[in-house]
Each structure stands twice: as C-alpha cells, then as structure tokens.
Structure 1
Amino acid sequence: MKRREFLKGALAGGALLATSSPAEARPNKTMPPEAVGLLYDSTLCIGCKACVAACKEANDMPPEFSTVEQYWDTPLDISGKTLNVIKMYKEGSGATKDSEHNGHAFMKFSCLHCVDPSCVSACPVSAMTKDPVNGIVSHDKSACIGCRYCVAACPFGVPRFQYDRPFPQITKCQLCKHRMAEGQYAACAYVCPTGATLFGKMTDLNAEAKRRLALKPGEDTEFPRGNLTTHDQSSFPAKAAKYLPQIYGDKELGGTQMIKLSAVPFEKLGMPTLPERSYAATSETMQHTLYGGLVLPLVFLGGLTFIAKRNVKNDGEDEKE
C-alpha cells in the first residue's frame, strides 16, 4: 500500500463512520433547583480577610507564610494550604475605593462550584463529584489517584496539589459542606462583617444580585449578612455603589454557584473572560465524536497497519539484496 492510498482510505473510512453515526453536541448541564452558593460583592469588601482566617479554622488548614518573620498567616494565593483568599487591585494612587483609575478594589478567590465543572468531567476516577441536590463540587481524597487532571482542567485554577508534603493531596473549597450537616453554612459568609460574602440558595442570591444592580449609585440600602435564605444575621446599612451591569458567574461556562458583583472590570480583578458554553460540554462532545463511532481508533490502527506493511516490504527488499 502506498502512503497516498492509505491516507485516502483512512480519511474516507473516518468520514463514512462519522456520517453514519453523527455525534450530537452535549448542552451545558443545568443548575439543581436547590443549589446553594455564595454572592460576593466586591464593593462591600473591606479587605479584612476575616473570611480567610475563618476558612482556615473551619477546614483545619495550616498557616502559610509569605514573609521571612513568619509572625502572621499571610497567604498570597489559594494553595495546598489555603482554600480562600482576598486579593487587592490597585491602580495609580489607589486613593478611591472601587474606582478603576487611581483606585483600589478587592476580589475573593476560591472554588466557584461550576454548574458544569471541568474538574468533574476530567477526573478519571470520580474523585471530583457534583452533588445533584445542592450542586456543591466536592473532592474525595480516598478516591483520588493524584493525576492532577482537575488542576489542568479548571479554568479558574482552583484545585491545588500539595507538592510540599510527603503524601500530597488535592485541596479545594467544598463550601463547608461539613458545617451544613451541623445546621451551619460556609464559614467565610458567617464571619463577613459587611455581607460582602453572602451564603444562600442560588435563586435567592441571583435575585439579590439583580436587586443591587437596579439600585441607583449612592442610594441608601440594607445589605443582608450571613445566610440570605434564612436571614440569620442583621443587615449592613450602606450606600449602593456604581456597579458594573454584570453578574460574573451568571453565564460564564454555563454558570457558577459563586456569583460576583463589582464596580471595577472583572478582568482587572483577576477574573478570566470566558464563553457561555462549558469546556466540559465541548470536550465531551469531541470525545464522543472521535470515539463514539470508533473513528480515531480505526484511523490509528490503520496507521499501524501501514507502518507494519512498509517495514515488512523493506525487510523483504533487504533479503533480496
């Protein structure tokens, strides 16, 4: 078989198989009706980092030092030791809060609990799972094989690997689901003094986010604190900011269960610009297309056959000589 003939045959066979059993594009998965999550309002955040300390305590995470003195827990980013962190944006003089120019703003970084999570799709042993009722994305350390596919798959860079431990594990925010079993909720929302981080059902959180976007800048209002669904804490009185007309996480990759509001463009606060179609839906559609009709395996086997025949022919010619 000549190389040109093989390529024509392989392409023709692949095209025939692909057209005989076409793969349907998988749509984005939908959010469970009882899904819970967080609303983070950057304009209310004062950078106190009480949520960082509370997260450490609630999840028994060790301190992380970014200074030589090591007097204080000072994580700079989420890591194998830190599941939640607050970062600061500053431009120019940084004098005005929530201003893109000559201002500063804060942003919370932790797991967004995607509606259609890439980490769950990429995990080969189902160590990453999404609860069908509350939508929380969890990690089972006992099932994990340490392949780190979830680390590579997550567009937000959330799952982290403990490289500095003799028996490393994957770590990520699991929305304090162990506290929910005790009738409590996410520690970061529980301790937030201004309600910048708010816990509740996603239906309630989305309604609250839309209410805030409808407020006029400077308008006096009450911002709920703690658990929005159960109203377990007093509210925080403040003036409404000049919000961007966007709820980050409402549509990104099919939606997330941590939505965000800001007065400064999200890309400047470190949040990536993403499409509405989830990466999990795209990758699984491609896998079904390639493997569902055995197109890729047959082309691969065809290639091996061509190489084998070519080698046999060369060996025969060598013997004649």
Structure 2
Amino acid sequence: MSKVDTSKQNAFLIDMTKCTGCRGCQVACKQWNQLEAENTEFFSGEGYQNPPAMSEYTFTRIKFRDYEKNGQNEFAFYKEMCMHCDDPACASVCPVGAFEKTPEGPVIYKADRCIGCRFCMIACPFGVPKYEWSKGLPLVKKCTGCHDRVTAGLQPACATACPTAITYGPRDEMIKIAEERVAKHPDKYIRKIYGKEEAGGTSVIYLTSLPFDELGFKKVTLRPLPEYTWQALRFVPAAFLTVGGSLSALSWINHRRDRLKNEQEDAEQVDTPADEKED
C-alpha cells in the first residue's frame, strides 16, 4: 500500500485543560452526520460519560475522569474520536480498500466497498471502528474527520462547535502551538504531546495536565502499525483461498455423495418387481 503524502494535512489539537465537558462536540457530530439517537444509560463505572461507549450512532464522546487535587475532587475531560493515523492500520488490513488516508488528514471509509470482515476493528489500536450490530447486513461506522466539510473549506463540526478546547489547522502548525504551550506553561502541562508520534503520528493530538495513562489513553507503539499488521495478516488471502477451497471441496464431495445415493435409490426402485411395490 503506497503511503499518502500527508505533508499538508490538517490536524485536531485538543487541549484538555481547556475542555469544560459541555459535550457540544458530541451534539455537533450527531447533527452533521445525521446519526440516530440511541438508548443509553448513565454510566458511572468508568466515569460519568454518556453514552458509555462509541458506537454506530456515536462517533465521538467526552469521557470523564475523577481525580483529587489539593484534597478536592476534580474532573478531567477527554474527547474520544478516531485518531486519523498518518499510516492507518485499518487501511493496511482492509482487503477491499474501504479505508483511505486522505491528503487533507481524515481517514475516510467507503461503505460501498466494505464486505464486513471486521479486520479494521481488530487492527485499530484505539478501538475506533464499530460494527452495525442493529442491521441484518452490517457494515462499519466511524468518524470521518468531516472530510466533506474540510474539502469544502470548512472546519470539522466538532471543532466549529467547541468554545474552548479544539483548534484545527495544518498539522505542523498544531504541533508548533502545542509545543509553545508546553514550553510556556511547564507547570500546567505534562511534557508530552500525545499523537505527535504515537502509531507513527496521527491527525489528532492532545495536551493535558494529567498523565495520559491515568486518563485512559491507550499506550501504543511509536512505530507505524501497518509494519506490524501486514506481517500478521499478509497470509490472510492465502488462508481465505485455503479455507474457501477446502469448503468447496467438502461441498462437492457431499453433493456427489447425495447424488450417488439418490441414483442408487432410483435404480433399486426400477429393479423392484411391481407386485413387491404393491405389497
């Protein structure tokens, strides 16, 4: 798979010290993508977020984290969404090319190509792609980075709706802004920009005042994941052919056995005398 030139890609800079947990990004995402409402329950096992997880109806959500500061209980907020990796694992394992990293930054999904194999769900280190379990012929759903808006010169819906925490623009500029904030306020930020190098780099980068692992961020390799996933899945086409061939052979054997059995029964009926048939 040839890698897309992402030198001019855009990125989300999400400063979680500025997030108020208003969930405006969730609402804007729902509206723009015309996602149906879903029945959810207030979930307090992991925090106070609702809905409890991303799904075919929820492409982004605000996760809540409790922590203690100066003897007081505080909240930290974390916007969960597709990371839009520079070298996406989902695209590398998809056998039909249903995922594509665009030069603008977003990783888009082409539903008309999808065969529902779910390799993307296994490969994604961030657990982003979700299955349409509610449908008889399910496909995959995920955040598109509002590629349609971006190519039209607009900001993504979530970035437009956010009053404080989300900045969107050229990735190099977003990283520069993040580095300047960390350097200017070393007492405010953890000295790490999540997404700058994770999984080979992503189009979503984060700043926070708390350790990322305490917020629930997944620790992933800095190496582009397709280097791993292709090594693991490069034999899958052969496996498909082997399994498919074996099943075809078994089907042919079973059909042949049934045909021979039917022919034998027909021959026995022809050889049976008429008076025996009447009896």
TM-score norm. by structure 2 comes to 0.76
| Correspondence 1:1-321 to 2 at 5 A | 32-67=6-41, 74-92=50-68, 102-131=73-102, 133-194=103-164, 196-216=165-185, 242-285=188-231
Distance 2:193 2:5 in 1: 16
Relative distance call for 1:287 and 1:61 in structure 2 (3 A) is closer
Describe the shift of the 1:245–1:147 C-alpha distance in structure 2 as closer, same or farther (beyond 3 A). Answer: same
1:91 match: secondary structure: strand
Structure 1 vs Structure 2 CA RMSD:
2.8
Note closer, same or farther for the CA distance 1:46–1:36 as it changes in structure 2 (3 Å cut). Answer: same
Gapped regions of structure 2 (runs ≥ 5)? 43-48, 243-279
Aligned-pair identity (%): 36
What 5-or-longer segments of structure 1 have no aligned partner?
1-25, 97-101, 218-240, 301-321
CA displacement at 1:168 relative to structure 2: 2.1
Deviation at residue 82 of structure 1 after TM alignment? 0.3
- What is the alpha-carbon distance in structure 1 between the residues aligned to residue 82 and residue 152 of structure 2? 22
The match for 1:312 is: none
59 and 119 in structure 1: CA distance in 2 versus 1, 3 angstrom threshold:
same
Paired letter, 2:219 = T
Residue identity matched to 2:34: D
Give 3-state SS (helix, strand or coil) of 1:151's partner. helix
Q: Is the 8 A contact 1:37 1:175 kept in 2?
A: no
**Aligned amino acid, residue 200 of structure 1:** G
Separation (CA, whole Å) in 1 of partners of 2:215 and 2:38: 23
Distance 2:168 2:69 in 1: 33
- After superposition, the C-alpha distances for 1:63-90 in whole angstroms (9 at most, x for unaligned) are 123239xxxx942221110001000000
Distance 1:89 1:286 in 2: 35
Provide TM-score, normalisation by structure 1.
Answer: 0.66
**Residues 29 and 254 of structure 1 are in contact (CA less than 8 Å); yes or no, is this contact kept in structure 2?**
no
Q: Name the SS of the counterpart of 1:267 in structure 2.
A: helix
The answer as to whether partners of 2:67 and 2:76 remain within 8 angstroms in 1 is: no
Q: Aligned letter for 1:213?
A: V
Q: Shift of the alpha carbon at 1:148?
A: 0.7
C-alpha contact 2:17 2:207 (8 A) present in aligned 1: yes
Q: Distance in 2 between matches of 1:146 and 1:253?
A: 24
* Kept in 2: contact 1:94–1:104 (CA 8 A): no
Give the drift of 1:162.
1.1
Deviation for aligned residue 1:249: 0.6
Tell me which residue corresponds to 1:14.
none
Query: Are 2:12 and 2:166, in contact at CA under 8 Å, matched by a contact in 1?
Result: yes
